Amino acid sequence: MTEHLVLRVISKLLIPPILLFALYVQMHGDYGPGGGFQAGVIFGAGLILYGLVFGTEAMRAVAPPRLLVVLACLGVLLYAGVGVASMIGGGEFLEYGALSADATHGNHVGIIIIEIGVGIAVASVMTIIFTALAEWR
């Protein structure tokens, strides 16, 4: 898609705000609509837009599939790891209250960490599926 000047320029302008908005949705999920899942999809959509306009080879440079697979695993492990950490802290699996002396504070911290795990996993998986589909012949 090298000839579409308008698309390329507008995408370059739009992608940074999209990625920034994804981070906002990620961190603001406690207070407003959104959360890790939505943030992951939006972040993935930003990367997918880049891939659509500039091609999958450019996308591979930005988001190497090997790294994405590691990140997807890391996201799920981060979530499950919080569960194990709460067990070590003396609670049940995923009982975040055990993460801190104050149960409410522990809950809040646990939610933030698992949402980050969800976001990382979802963003990586969306990008993986896009790259796989786009390169499949």
Distances from the Cα of 33 to the Cα of 29, 37, 81, 101, 127, angstroms: 6, 11, 25, 29, 23
Per-residue contact track with another protein, 20 to 39, x per CB under 8 A? -----x---xxxxxxxxxx-
Q: What is the largest CA-CA distance in the chain?
A: 60
Residue from 79, 91, 98, 99 binding another protein (CB under 8 A): 79
| Binder of another protein out of 11, 19, 54, 130 (CB under 8 A) | 130
CA dihedral 98, 102, 104, 107 (to 10 degrees): -30
Q: Least separation, in Å, of the C-beta of 6 and another protein?
A: 19
- Residue 135: how many other CB atoms lie within 10 Å: 13
| H/E stretch holding 79 | helix 65-88
Residues at the interface with another protein (CB under 8 A): 25, 29-38, 41-42, 44-45, 48, 52, 57, 60-61, 64-66, 69, 72-73, 75-76, 79-80, 83, 93-94, 96, 103-105, 107-108, 110-111, 114-115, 117-118, 121-122, 124-126, 128-137
